[in-house]
Amino acid sequence: MSRVPPNGATVSEAPELLQIRQWALPWLIHGFGTRQSEKWTHRAGRTWVHQIHSGTVHRATEAGYVADGDALISDVPGLLLEIRTADCLPVLLVDPVRRMVAAAHAGWRGTVAGIAARTATQMVTEFGCRWDDLQAAFGPSIGPCCFEVGPEVAAQFDESCVVRPVEAGEASSPESTNSTHRRVKVDLHRANLTQLVDAGLSPGAIFQVASCTMCHPGQFHSFRRDREQSGRLVSGIGILDPAA
């Protein structure tokens, strides 16, 4: 897998909805939700999947529920593709030339399945997009500072996306030095970024909102932190309907 440095995004000032300034296109609506914007996608054209932590991608042609899966692609004006997360990584994609958009839900299982790269590849191979035109943005998710996983999960990731306890300076207790109990951490942003670049996307076309959901309880929901009390962050992207 490629080793790619992150590309920081310039985020809008509005605290309730995080938007990529580089995506200020007159026909595009998009955003990464916070605690203050849980219902911002509740409007005409809202379109969603039943998320199942998979590598399954669907094309959306009309509003409403589509199917079980974890990503949606559309070029239909008026649809707003919705993804809900609470530590998993929301990924939005746009082709400003073809005017096609996509949204993907990348938890660790979806990341292992290559959900973001599958979505981008499907936009190219099935819907006529060009790699040189595609752009992606990553929203807030649990960061490598907090995403502890067991060895069976870490083994499914490229080593460049895994932070070992000793490397992180955390082998400070007898339990943490026991190889049976040592907890490593995974970097979901890096894993999805390298997969997208390996698929064909330019590193300079990938923007990241590098905020850890677990570290910022006032702004983001986190299932790891709040468990069953956690809400969901709502991210979305769509093409505005000029007739609306």
Residue 182: predicted pLDDT: 60
Domain 17-147+189-239 has CATH 3.60.140.10: yes
| Gap between the Cα atoms of 165 and 11, Å rounded | 32
Q: Are 70 and 49 in contact (CB under 8 A)?
A: yes
**The dihedral of CA 165, 142, 122, 54: what is its sign?**
positive
- Asked if the model's pLDDT at residue 2 lies above 80, the reply is no
For residue 140, how many other CB atoms are within 10 A of its CB? 28
Q: Mean pLDDT, to the nearest integer, of 47-57?
A: 98
Dihedral, 134, 24, 218, 139 alpha carbons, nearest 10:
0
How far is Cα 173 from Cα 102, in angstroms, rounded to an integer? 44
Using a cut of 0.85, tell me whether the model's pTM lies above it: yes
Angle at 8 between CA 74 and CA 5, to 5 degrees: 100
**Averaged pLDDT score across all residues of the chain:** 88
Give residues with Cβ within 8 angstroms of 53, minimum separation 6: 70, 105, 107, 109, 110
Domain range annotation of the chain: 17-147+189-239, 149-186
Q: What is the pLDDT of residues 200-225, one digit of tens each?
A: 999 999 999 878 999 999 899 999 99
- What pLDDT, in 10s, does the model give residues 161-193? 999 876 444 444 444 444 434 689 999 999 999
Angle, CA of 30, 33 and 37, to the nearest 5°: 110
- What radius of gyration do the chain's Cα atoms show? 18
Q: Which of 28-42, 100-114, 165-179 has the highest mean pLDDT?
A: 100-114
CB-based contact 9:137 (threshold 8 Å): yes
